[in-house]
Amino acid sequence: MMYVSFMLLLVTITPYINGQNASFPDCKNGPLATFPICNPALPSRERAIDLVSRMNTSEKISRLVHNNRAIPRLGLPAYSFYSEALHGLASARFGGNLPAATSFPMTMNLGATFNMTLINRMTTVISTEARAFNNEGRAGLSFFTPNINIVRDPRWGRADETVGEDPYLGSQYVYAYITGLQRGDDDNYLKVAGTCKHYVAYDLDGWNGTDRFHFNAKISDQDMVETQLPTFESCIRYARGASIMCSFNEINGVPACANEFYLQPVAR
């Protein structure tokens, strides 16, 4: 239920303009107009909980995938939570890269600048363009980015999506990245929502007969605390990242997406 509430929360904390944007519920004339979800004076959590309580079981289940179908009886439009902004605005849901959006260098090159002010300015541009494309129905407002995994082997195919092997640099990078994405002119709203991934100890795609879906990361507590977790702590505790994505792999034999220890007491 927590994930359901969070996805709906993304809608509630997004500014609404007179029902003109089909991406948002019509809080002026729609079915939800008189309900708490449309009352900006209430806390976002309270608004989201109220909306979830009005859904039936099948409607709640439909919120658990990234392509959410519309719920006409509640006035909820369809929405995809799958948009990308690794080094510039892109969207798998809305038809691949957006030619008019600014494309910045790949993450490994950005990390090599050691310039966090530059990173923050870049992601501010990305989030501004995301808002503009969303106004035209070309992009969402929630992004599966950034990749903040630590690289242990340069042959890893996704290494260039990260800033490399240094947990300190990664922690500084994700703070600059997330704050640029999420902070806008009004602190009451997220400009867009970022997602820190892949949580955690993911650094292998395909090697020696093992793929990302069957990789067991055998890792000590010390290595986890000193190397793998600092970037995620920076994302969640300091930058206040809106979400995290669990990784494909196992952690010492337990799937990351079903690992109660790392998802509950650690992440929460």
**Domain ranges, ordered by start, for the chain:** 2-78, 90-267
Return the pLDDT at 165: 95
Note if the pTM is more than 0.75.
yes
Return the pLDDT at 95: 54
State how far the Cα of 96 lies from the Cα of 105, in Å rounded to an integer.
18
Is residue 65 over pLDDT 70? yes
Q: What is the maximal distance between C-alpha atoms in the chain? A: 59
Q: Measuring CA to CA, which residue among 91, 86, 89, 112 is closest to residue 102?
A: 89
CB 24 within 8 A of CB 16: yes
Taken in order 134, 171, 7, 11, is the CA torsion positive or negative? Answer: negative
Query: What token pair was written down for 170?
Result: 């990664």
Give the pLDDT confidence of 86-118 residue by residue, as tens digits: 999 986 555 556 778 999 999 999 999 999 999
- The 8 Å CB, 24+ separation contacts for 181-187 are 181/85, 181/123, 181/124, 181/126, 181/127, 181/143, 181/145, 182/127, 182/239, 182/240, 182/241, 182/242, 184/127, 186/15
Integer Rg of the chain from CA: 19
Find the Cα–Cα–Cα–Cα dihedral 51, 56, 59, 65, rounded to 10°: 80
Phi/psi region, residue 90 (left: phi>0; alpha: psi -120 to 50; beta: rest), is: beta
State how far the Cα of 20 lies from the Cα of 47, in Å rounded to an integer.
21
Mutual angle of helices 44-53 and 2-12, in 10-degree steps: 120
CATH for the 90-267 domain, from 3.40.50.1970, 3.30.2180.10, 3.40.50.970, 3.20.20.300: 3.20.20.300
Task: Give the rounded distance of the alpha carbon of 128 from its chain centre.
Answer: 16
Q: If you average pLDDT over residues 199-213, what whole number do you get?
A: 85
Is residue 129 over pLDDT 90? yes
- Kindly report the backbone phi and psi dihedral angles of residue 197, in degrees, each rounded to the nearest multiple of 5, phi listed first: -145, 160
